[in-house]
Amino acid sequence: MQKERSQVTGMSCAACSAAVERSVKKLEGLQTVQVNLLRNTMDVEYDSSVLSSEAIVAAVEQAGYGATLQGDKTAPQPTSSAAEDSREKQKAIRIRLAVSFGFLLPLFYISMGHMMGWPLPHFFHGTQNALMLAFTQMLLCLPIWYVNRKYFIGGFGSLFRGNPNMDSLIALGSSAAMVYGIWAIYHIGWGLGHGDLAMVEHYRMDLYFEASGMILTLITVGKLMEERSKGHTSDALSRLMDLSPPTANVLRGGVEQTLPAAQVVVGDIVVVRPGQSVPVDGIVCKGSSWVDESAITGESVPVEKTEGDTVTSATLNTAGYLEIRAIRVGSDTTLSQIIQLVEDAGASKAPIARLADRISGVFVPIVLSIALLATVAWLLAGKDLGFAISCGIAVLVVSCPCALGLATPTAIMVGTGRGAEQGILFRSAEVLENTRQIDTVVLDKTGTITEGKPRVTDLVPATGVGSDQLIALAAALEQPSEHPLG
The CA distance from 424 to 431, in Å, is: 12
Within 13 Å, how many C-alpha atoms sit on residue 189's CB side?
Answer: 9
The CA distance from 323 to 331, in Å, is: 21
CA 220 to chain centre: 15
Q: Decide: 44 and 25 in contact? Cβ < 8 Å.
A: no
Q: Which residue in 34, 33, 40, 35 sits closest to 12, CA to CA?
A: 40
Torsion-angle region of 144 (φ positive above 0: left; ψ -120 to 50: alpha; else: beta): alpha
CA 435 to chain centre: 22
Q: Which of 439, 444, 458, 468 is catalytic?
A: 444
Please name the helix (run of DSSP H) or strand (run of DSSP E) that holds residue 234, with its range, or none. helix 209-241
E-strand ranges in 37-80 read 41-46, 66-72
Cβ-proximal residues to 425 (8 Å cutoff; 6+ apart), any chain: 338, 341, 342, 345, 419
As to burial, measured by CB atoms within 10 angstroms (0-12 exposed, 13-18 middle, 19+ buried), residue 228 is middle
Q: Decide: 324 and 309 in contact? Cβ < 8 Å.
A: no
Beta-bridged to residue 4, according to DSSP, are: 44, 72
Q: Is 344 a catalytic residue?
A: no
**Positions marked active-site:** 444
